[in-house]
Every structure is written in structure tokens, then in C-alpha cells.
Amino acid sequence: MLALYKKEIAAFLNTITGYVVILVFLFITSLFLWIFPTEYNVLDFGYANLDSLFMLAPFIFLFLIPAITMRFFAEEKKTGTIELLFTRPFSDWQIISAKYLAGFTLVLIALIPTLIYVATIYWFAFPSGNIDIGMLVGSYIGLLFLAAAFVAIGLFSSALTDNQIVAFIVAIGLSSFVYLGFDLIYSLEIVGSFDLIVKSFGIATHYASIRRGVIDLRDIIYFISVSGLFLFFTHTLLSRRKW
């Protein structure tokens, strides 16, 4: 399993596409946080925090993570190496876990450079260091849980097809629905007294809770459940393979 995990990491980072995906993520966040005169511009806030990063990152994740995960199974199917993969001494769950952890690690690699933003805010604050560390830590934890859920969705999408572009589009659609779809249904007020229950099915509600620095067990269980559900879907899909 470890060998497969390393192989997936290397396969992504050994291509120019891998670095482009990560650099585009950092470039876009930097533009919105420091350059563009939008609501996300940190310098226009008047006080030192990184709320803008954690409001903006989920929407960039909707494209970044599908770009990372789209090749995991789709490329294997396209090139015919998936038959060879499943003849190796790995169980289906080991293969899925290795690819899932590789995807999560790659997102983590993309996030690490954003710590430069934290250092910048820390030193620019007045007085220096006058920032809410607890909220920052909670926000990063929320972002990691969000990434874990999106990677699971992306992995499932990649297992659906042998076309990476289709896998990319499906992952964006599914991730967008799970993140924003339930909030949209809630806002339409079409489910009556069940509206809050419907809203609680969406990722955005639980992510917002953790982002405030409140680590609630219910939110953690929710993210673990979403990730586990889509990994289970992936396993079910692959167990029906006919190759």
C-alpha cells in the first residue's frame, strides 16, 4: 500500500501539470487576498486575520481537488493498467486508501505555502502577533476536513469513467452540490419544517462551524461520514468491475 501511495504522489509531482495545478491555486489565492480590490482583500479589512482565505479556499478547492483526483482511476482505465493494478497483492480497500491518502497529501502540499500568509499577518498585526491563533488553527482544521471530503468525492468520480475530463466535471458537480446544494434547497423554503435538517446535510454549514474555531464532535463525525460514504461508493463501483 505504501508503494502505491508513493507512486501516486510521484506520478503527480513528476509532471508539469502537477506543479501548475498547485501554483495556480497559490496564484489565485494570492491575487484575491493581496492584489484585487474585492471583499477578500486582506489589506482592506483594517484588522489582521485570514478570514478571506478560508472563505475563498472552498471555492478554489472545487476545481483544485478534481484536478488532482481526476486521473487516479480514469487514467488507469484509459491506459489499461488498472487490470495489472488489481492483480497485485493489494485488496481493493488498500488501493482505494492509497489513492485517497495520496490525494489528501497533495492537497496538504498545496496548503503548506499558505502558512506564509499567516506569518505575514502575524508580523503586520499591531501590535505584532495580535491575531486569533485559535480561530486560525480551527479554520485550517476545517479546511483539511473539507479537503478530505472533496478528495473522496473526486476519487469516486474518477472511478466512474475512463475519461479524465469527465471525471473532473463530475467531481466539480458533485462537490458543488454537497457543498452548496443543500443550502440552496434550504433558501428556497420548499421543505417546510425540515429546512434546518436539509441544511445540516450540506458541507458548508459544518465547515462554517469549524471555521469559527469551534471543534464540535458532530461536525467531525459529519466529515468522516461524508468521506467514508464516497469511499464506500468507490469500493462498491470497483467491486463490480468487468475487466
Whether the model clears a pTM of 0.95, i.e. scores above it, the answer is: no
Confidence grade of residue 60 (pLDDT, cut at 50, 70, 90):
very high
Quick: pLDDT tens for 95-136: 999 999 999 999 999 999 999 988 888 787 667 666 777 788
The residue assigned the cell 475512463 is 162
* Lowest mean pLDDT segment, chosen from 58-62, 79-83, 158-162: 79-83
More confident residue, 82 or 44: 82
Residues 212/133, Cβ–Cβ less than 8 Å: no
Q: Which three cell numbers stand for residue 142?
A: 476545517
More confident residue, 240 or 174: 174
Confidence grade of residue 147 (pLDDT, cut at 50, 70, 90):
very high
Domain ranges of the chain: 2-239
Distance of alpha carbon 99 from the chain centroid: 14
The pLDDT value given to residue 171: 97
* Lowest mean pLDDT segment, chosen from 29-38, 40-49, 79-88, 167-176: 40-49
Confidence grade of residue 145 (pLDDT, cut at 50, 70, 90):
very high
Spatial CA neighbour of 143 closest among 200, 99, 192, 204: 204
CA distances from 3 to 72, 75, 89, 225 (A): 15, 18, 12, 27
The pLDDT value given to residue 174: 96
Spatial CA neighbour of 62 closest among 155, 183, 174: 174
The residue assigned the cell 469511499 is 231
